[in-house]
Chain A
Amino acid sequence: MRVLAAMSGGVDSAVAAARMAEAGHDVTGVHLALSRNPQSYRSGARGCCTIEDSRDARRAADVIGIPFYVWDLAERFHADVVEDFVSEYAAGRTPNPCLRCNEKVKFSAVLERALALGFDAVATGHYARIVDTASGRELHRAVDPAKDQSYVLGVLTQQQLAHAFFPLGDTVKTEVREEAERRGLSVAAKPDSHDICFIADGDTAGFLGAQLGEAPGDIVDAQGNKLGEHQGTHGFTIGQRKGLRIGTPAADGKPRFVLDISPVDRTVTVGSREELAVSELTASKPRWCGPPPAAELHATAQLRAHGEEVPVTATVLDDRVQVSFKEPTSAVAPGQAVVLYDGTRVIGSATIDSVQRATAGV
């Protein structure tokens, strides 16, 4: 097969490309330039789009012995991922840009271009497994639970999966590093990238503040009593506990969490852990990895990257999914994806729109 290997300059995608080439595929490496103004060098473990990363990817491709090119997807990435990220926060929601990037850039713009140029598939260094069955391709969790990235791939449809390879899904990270070393790939010891690649210094609040400006408002409790002030609702995420900067402690002395964000009246509502608990959620824009599931199904759900899996009952409507939790769960943020699993298999995902609190009053 003619395979396009997306190479970030990190160890995972380098080993993924090497494995594809070793398996006998005709592999071409491509580094996706996603930043409009790439930094020359990496600073710390963050970022994935510096010129140094591009050079690392090229070196890896040379060692593997495959052709290598850089594709400029900065405009596309900005329009589909960065702008979406900013506008979601402006709307009081908490987006997942990696998921959006997989949906709109890696397995859309890049895959389409690859197929048009005569490639059969795109391979990435994501930790997830593809299992071929009689009824089609299935997406499963990786064997390394610490690295599993099936959550951010839960947006992929059967058609996208049909042209995807994740060669690292059956390997644990430490083995990938050892393999990179063995293969002479100089990125073997390169630190893992964390956080959001387009916010190089990791200061998400600062980035959003620069994009959206200050919009001061009140921090209130569920009864509407003012507890403090903030410089912009985009600085908050549902379930957030740290950085609330509330002067007066709660009456019961227990920690307070963000319950609700309302950018229209610039209000951030906080409350106790009990008040945070959610019994149901409604999500929209479902994307199924295989055929659409039954109208009602028992499954497990993951509600954020690296989040825990919780048992749920999901009701699938036309363009919505209603999810009720077996046990109330906390920190469910609109804008994040709810990804449904059947064991290790990813059923699909949808974007969380609203939640139903387990306790009344919010």
Chain B
Amino acid sequence: MTPPDRRTVYLDHAATTPMLPAAIEAMTQHLARTGNASSLHGSGRCARRTVEEARESLAASLGAQPSEIVFTSGGTEADNLALKGLWWSRLAADPRRRRILLSGIEHHAVLDPAIWLGRHEHAEIEWLPVDELGRVGPDDVRRAIERDPESVSFVTLMMANNEVGTLQPVAEVAAIAQEYGVPVHTDAVQAIGQLPVDFGELGVDAMTVSAHKLGGPYGIGALVVHKETQLTPILHGGGQERDVRSGTLDVPATAGFAVAAEHAVKHQADEALRLAELRDTLIAGITGTVEGALLSGDPTGRLPGNAHLSFSDCEGDSLLLLLDARGIEVSTGSACNAGVAEPSHVLLAMGYDDQRARGSLRFTLGHTSTRADIDAVLDTIGPVVERAKSAGLQNVGRNT
């Protein structure tokens, strides 16, 4: 495979974003050193110091206490720990707590553990309604809790949707849930660096973050857990991370993560303005010139770097192939099975029909995005859509 060269227009930052040079430097510096952070000798203490400084730095960036940071292998593990950890811990305290409240637009790392708990632990999954812009309403959350507050295990609601970019009223939902003593988890993987996020102010009990989405390394994330929130561990072993998440810590990765998060949070406000302007140029340019192109999600309450568009009468797969051949890298959605794109569960939950859902593209901007990237898309999108339309829709016009 030819590695992407400098002519590549990378507009898939929601999938992963390039590592920040400062994070690479911090990480590589520590890769050359030995030391298990749990060891008691000098090398161990040195490693431990690195981890704890990273923890303090990350906590400061996220508005949390250092003791509230639980390092994990990434966002998926943090989501699993939050959902399963809350489920078992809440159930142990009160066997009536069997209802999990969530919406159909959550990431699979949240959806699938919830569905698993439903199948294997007899959790009652209650789907919160989603409107056509991809928003969950706080009143719906209140109604769902009020029906029987004692039986709610927890509520989980993402900060911002990874596909269509719609922001969710997490603080409001957390305030409502708090009235009833119901814990709230939020997946904030897409939000850090794009939105101001302060764990303490948000009022949630657990928050998922991932390093590689904000300029840090792959393979590390964290669950920020309120100090009074109890979680049942799902990984058992050496008792690291408050006994909640056993496993030897990836010392260099914690350092890279902390540096990246600090940078992302420090530049968040300026970067959000810059990206939103580029994004709006992209959206206006596409919807203004390509017939049948429509913006998905909330036009205003969305991630600054997200432009999700649907195109009539063509396959997102075809658009992706044609753009890729021209060096423009985007995504059709998030879920795939052996590389086969399924119609997005997020779009279906928002009421899109199958065909519209299949003809979608997600452009996500990040710290390396420039006006030249946007111009490259606008130069090529018209002919690309025309060609994709001529290739038509799969499964349509079968000759039986």
Contact = CB atoms under 8 A, between A and B. Distances in A.
Do the two chains belong together in a single complex?
Answer: yes
Interface of A: 28, 31, 33, 38, 51, 54-55, 58, 61-62, 65-67, 69-73, 75-76, 79-80, 83, 104, 108-109, 112-113, 116-118
Interface stretch (B147-155, B292-300, B344-352, B390-398): B390-398
Interface stretch (B16-24, B334-342, B366-374): B334-342
A74 to B, nearest CB: 8
A54 B338 contact: yes
Interface stretch (B55-63, B125-133, B185-193, B318-326): B318-326
A33 B398 CA distance: 16
A38 B337 CA distance: 9
B323 to A, nearest CB: 11
Given A31-B339, A51-B338, A80-B399, 5 more contacts: A69-B320, A72-B340, A80-B398, A112-B391, A116-B392
B321 A117 contact: yes
Contact of A117 (B337, B339, B391, B399): B391
Most buried by B among A71, A72, A109, A116: A72
Interface in B1-54: 1-2
Given A62-B1, A75-B398, A80-B400, A116 B390 contact: yes
Contacts of B322: 117-118
Contact of A118 (B1, B317, B387, B398): B387
- Chain A at the B interface: SS class: helix
Most buried by A among B318, B340, B392: B340
B324 A58 contact: no
A158 B203 CA distance: 69
Contact of B338 (A65, A70, A76, A112): A70
A76 B400 CA distance: 9
Report the 3 A-B pairs with minimum CB-CB distance, sorted nearest first: A70-B339, A116-B391, A75-B395
Contact of B317 (A31, A71, A83, A104): A71
13 contacts: A33-B339, A33-B340, A51-B338, A65-B1, A72-B341, A76-B395, A108-B399, A112-B391, A113-B391, A116-B391, A116-B392, A117-B318, A118-B387
A54 B394 CA distance: 19
B400 A83 contact: yes
Contacts of A72: 317, 340-341, 394
A66 B324 CA distance: 12
Given A80-B400, A118-B322, A54 B339 contact: yes
- Chain B at the A interface: SS class: mixed
A69 B1 contact: no
Contacts of A58: 339
Contacts of B387: 116-118
Counting contact residues on chain B (CB < 8 A from A), the size range is: 20 to 34
Given A117-B387, A117-B388, A117-B391, A70 B340 contact: yes
Given A51-B338, A79-B400, A104-B399, A69 B394 contact: no
Most buried by A among B1, B2, B317: B1
Contacts of B318: 113, 117
Contacts of A65: 1-2
B338 A38 contact: yes
Contacts of A83: 400
A28 B321 contact: yes
A288 B97 CA distance: 70
A65 to B, nearest CB: 6
Nearest to B394: A72
A116 B387 CA distance: 7
A338 to B, nearest CB: 23
Contact of A76 (B317, B388, B394): B394
Given A67-B324, A69-B321, A117-B318, A75 B340 contact: no
A72 B1 CA distance: 22
Contacts of A70: 338-340
A64 to B, nearest CB: 9
Contacts of A116: 387, 390-392
Contacts of A69: 317, 320-321, 339
A108 B387 CA distance: 18
